[in-house]
Amino acid sequence: MFSVLSYGRLVARAVLGGLSQTDSRDYSLVTASCGFGKDARKGILKKGMCYGDDACFIARHRTADVLGVADGVGGWRDYGVDPSQFSETLMRTCERLVKEGRFVPTNPVGILTSSYRELLQNKVPLLGSSTACLVILDRTSHRLHTANLGDSGFLVVRAGEVVHRSDEQQHYFNTPFQLSIAPPEAEGVVLSDSPDAADSSSFDVQLGDIILTATDGLFDNMPDYMILQELKKLKNTNYESIQQTARSIAEQAHDLAYDPNYMSPFAQFACDYGLNVRGGKPDDITVLLSIVAEYTD
């Protein structure tokens, strides 16, 4: 089962080539989502937009389109905590702030900081940890503003090549930067990073640029060349084509995750650390696939 949300008119026109930076038209994102929970051989969407312990959102406001993905840290399950609650609450809070207009398009870290602060002040106790990646398209300036904390991330693809991407943040092997809320007795022991530690960037986009935002379940199982091969199948910007391609990418990553003989990016990374690892990495997978299109209100 998969889920698709799109923003901007489905008939929005876009050109798969470049466009002059003097273009005065507003841009928007047409976005499809697909994902799989690690514990299910078939994709299952939980309440909201959650795949396993992953969560995501797609939102829009007057001047911007905003996307986000978060990966709940599964280790909390050993302490009786549902890891999906933290990532889901974080993404729902980010989404609400965007819809209420309580954000600045040039400052995705600000959304992350405000959302995390709300979680810390929540009257209902919430424990857990999560990575996070936010992507904002400023419709008028045509600039993409991003913030990435941990090992989720994004790619910007133009004319079949990766022209911009997030930087992965790891403390050490398989231990990404993360936002956390720990019980009082564990504060200072549980790994916790500040939203300000997120890697931020800004990038000018063009009509037809492809933006792929995903949790590490994708990037740990599919190298760039495989992702680019799948994106070549995206011949136009209509809703159905984006949906089909998003599903194809998520399904391939899911299949590779359970291949014991496949030398995955995660296994290669482990070998670089002197670990004898082979095969895919079973994990929750969330994919948001977007195309920059002309905005039509």
The residue among 28, 97, 103 whose CA lies nearest residue 297 is 28
CB atoms under 10 Å from CB of 160, counted, come to 11
- In this structure, how many other beta carbons lie within 10 angstroms of the beta carbon of residue 131? 28
Q: What is the pLDDT of residue 46?
A: 53
Using alpha carbons only, give the angle 98, 292, 288 rounded to the nearest 5 degrees.
60
Q: Say what the pLDDT of residue 245 is.
A: 97
Q: Which helix (H) or strand (E) holds 158?
A: strand 153-158
DSSP codes, 91-135: HHHHHHHHHTT-S-TT-HHHHHHHHHHHHHT-SS---EEEEEEEE
Per residue in 186-209, pLDDT tens? 777 889 999 999 999 999 999 999
Tokens of 96: 């609400």
Asked if pLDDT for residue 1 goes beyond 70, the answer is: no
pLDDT above 70 as % of the chain: 90
Cβ-based neighbour number of residue 293 at 10 Å: 26
Structure tokens at 24: 């005065």
| Pick from 30-44, 180-194, 242-256: least confident | 30-44
State the pLDDT confidence band at 19, using cuts at 50, 70 and 90. very low
d(CA 153, CA 241): 22
pLDDT of residue 16: 43
